[in-house]
Structure 1
Amino acid sequence: MSEFIIALHALVCLAHDGCSRSSEELSANLCTNPVRIRKVMSKCKKIGLVKTKAGVNGGYIISKSGKEITLRDIYDAVNIPLIDTRWHSGDISSECIIASGMGEYVTELFSLLNDKVLVVLGEITLEDVEHRLMSIKERKQLEICK
């Protein structure tokens, strides 16, 4: 999940002005380590969401406009289920129908929920996220003025 958030934040930053940003610049904005940025951005580069530029003004550059990149694209890059658990209740060897089946049921449920989430993510673009962030900023400024 954190890789999805890192990729989303970094890509919105890159889409905002279209400039290249180093992993150090992105890490300062995201409040995380540049190594984590590089790890996640390499996944984004692999599927064509960003390009890299070497040199003094080098870094990551967004490959498409914010209108063309969906949150589903970001999910596909990081490839980590958004809804997941490593722990399951019950015991598959139990004679109790509830205890023996709950783990399998929860796995099926989370799979279904992830499928539904992917549909929603496919409908939201980076441009939509940036517009929402602007609305949040405007609302906060109004609250400060009150």
Structure 2
Amino acid sequence: MNSEFTIAVHSLVFLAYRPDRMATSDVIAHNVNTHPSRLRKVMSCLRKQGFIVTKEGIGGGYILNCNPDQVTLAQIYSATSIGSMKPGWCSGKGDDKCVVACNMAEVMDHIFCEAEQHMLVYLQRTTISNVLERVRSSQQQR
């Protein structure tokens, strides 16, 4: 899994925490603890999917454009990270006389695809609001 998913969820939860205020990329990046240019790349993806809207210029920034009760982590994963479970390196064709070497890449592709589908089912059960509730609950326990 790539970090864009975590950055996206963190950013949306931050915006849901302050629903009536715009936040600049610098403010969100500081909260997420990432570089503003990296954050802007992720936010661009979220904007294209309609989760946020932007306003340029003075007083501009990002604001939530979705109901955090209805946006699931599966939707965010699909928008930012689908296919990222599969590692960049995979066994090649290898020795074409060996049944393992000839078939490992295809078998592993199926395994990663199935794992990702199971993860999406799990992520479908959690919304941005659920994550914000967990954050608030963690704060109260301190």
Question: Normalized against structure 2, the TM-score is what?
Answer: 0.88
Match of 1:24 among 26, 38, 41: 26
**Equivalent runs, 1:1-16 vs 2, <5 Å:** 1-16=2-17
In structure 1, the residue matched to 2:78 is 76
Q: What number of residue pairs does the alignment pair up?
A: 140
Q: Which runs of 5+ in 1 are unaligned?
A: 142-146
Answer whether contact 1:23 1:37 (CA < 8 A) is retained.
yes
In structure 2, the residue matched to 1:117 is 119
In structure 2, what is the Cα distance between the partners aligned to 1:61 and 1:85? 33
Deviation of 1:24 after TM superposition, in Å, equals 0.5
In structure 2, the residue matched to 1:128 is 130
Q: Which runs of 5+ in 2 are unaligned?
A: none
Answer whether contact 1:89 1:103 (CA < 8 A) is retained.
yes
Deviation of 1:26 after TM superposition, in Å, equals 0.5
In structure 1, what is the Cα distance between the partners aligned to 2:62 and 2:109? 37
Of all paired residues, the percent bearing the same amino acid is 36
In structure 1, the residue matched to 2:56 is 54
Q: Structure 2: which amino acid aligns with 1:105?
A: V
Answer whether contact 1:83 1:114 (CA < 8 A) is retained.
yes
In structure 1, what is the Cα distance between the partners aligned to 2:78 and 2:91? 29
In structure 2, what is the Cα distance between the partners aligned to 1:62 and 1:76? 18
In structure 1, the residue matched to 2:39 is 37
In structure 2, what is the Cα distance between the partners aligned to 1:15 and 1:62? 7
**In structure 2, the residue corresponding to 1:55 is in which secondary structure?**
coil
Question: Normalized against structure 1, the TM-score is what?
Answer: 0.86
In structure 2, what is the Cα distance between the partners aligned to 1:74 and 1:90? 31
**In structure 1, the residue corresponding to 2:129 is in which secondary structure?**
helix
Answer whether contact 2:4 2:81 (CA < 8 A) is retained.
no
Deviation of 1:59 after TM superposition, in Å, equals 0.4
In structure 2, what is the Cα distance between the partners aligned to 1:121 and 1:27? 24
The 10-residue stretch of structure 1 (76-85 or 42-51) with the greater mean CA deviation from structure 2: 76-85
